[in-house]
Structure 1
């Protein structure tokens, strides 16, 4: 899927895959890809700036963890991030309902089509 299709929804995607618990960058990319059935493929150049921005505004926190000899930064939702994710889900439901009603209109029985 084109990167443009994700624009505007990236924050919600990142918050959603972090909801179960902390993940490092590549695990976040893999989680989005797995949850989307392989349709969404995010690049590191896309997610790291977004993760840093979400941390700056208080929706995520991060810590450094060691994995063997390597260190990696793990991100997790803050309470504000959880509230924002709930709002993202509500907004997404409203958006998909509105678009669906335009793309797939249904006519109540008895009315002319």
Structure 2
């Protein structure tokens, strides 16, 4: 899938609903981490700059608590993505250090608001933000059409098996060719779904 804009692969487009699913998966990237909160699904990570931009956009109009931002992102993506508090709060602190956001006391909790400098930064990066929001929306649409968890589990399982059988044990050429044939056959079957 590399070499195509935003991870789009021409063979996936227009395949009875799989196009948006594949694009959403590619757009959010292959970086995966187990959900440490035990909520039963995996989380995809955004790049640091992307998360900064996304959080800043959430507080552009009105201040929010960190958890409200997490919930807003999760709601926008239909549960396909929600950053962990361990990533969100350091990012908010960084935004404050960069004078793009400011912390405000709200009882024992903190509210975060975009500063004038932060709003100007968003205006400069509006095109990047819009592209990011489109990816998140596509992930949300795909997640409501199909539960991606079984596909991700199968992909991770395949990667693990390939690593164990092919590279760690130094499989011979015939085993490598047979594995490639099986994978190609599966790809052709999935393409026809």
- TM-score when scaled to structure 1? 0.70
Pairing 1:80-91 to 2, within 5 Å after superposition: 80-91=117-128
User: Is the CA contact (8 Å cut-off) linking 2:59 and 2:112 kept in structure 1?
Assistant: yes
- Secondary structure (helix, strand or coil) at the match of 1:91 reads helix
Task: Spell out structure 1 runs of 4+ moving beyond 4 A.
Answer: 92-95
- Give the structure with the larger helix fraction: 2
Q: Does 1:57 align with 2:107?
A: no
Aligned length, in residue pairs: 91
- TM-score when scaled to structure 2? 0.43
Structure 2 unmatched runs, 5+: 1-27, 33-42, 133-193
Change (3 A) 1:35 1:93: closer
Pairing 1:63-78 to 2, within 5 Å after superposition: 63-66=104-107, 71-78=108-115
Paired position in structure 1 for 2:80: 39
- Give the structure with the larger strand fraction: 1
Deviations 1:49-100 (A, max 9, x none): 100000001000111112xxxx1010000011111112222235589xxxxx
Deviations 1:19-64 (A, max 9, x none): 2310111111111112222222110110111000000010001111
Change (3 A) 1:39 1:80: same
Q: Return the alpha-carbon distance in structure 2 between the equivalents of residues 93 and 33 of structure 1.
A: 17
- Secondary structure (helix, strand or coil) at the match of 2:125 reads helix
Q: Return the alpha-carbon distance in structure 2 between the equivalents of residues 35 and 82 of structure 1.
A: 21
Q: Return the alpha-carbon distance in structure 2 between the equivalents of residues 65 and 48 of structure 1.
A: 16
Q: Which has the larger radius of gyration?
A: 2
Q: Return the alpha-carbon distance in structure 1 between the equivalents of residues 112 and 130 of structure 2.
A: 26
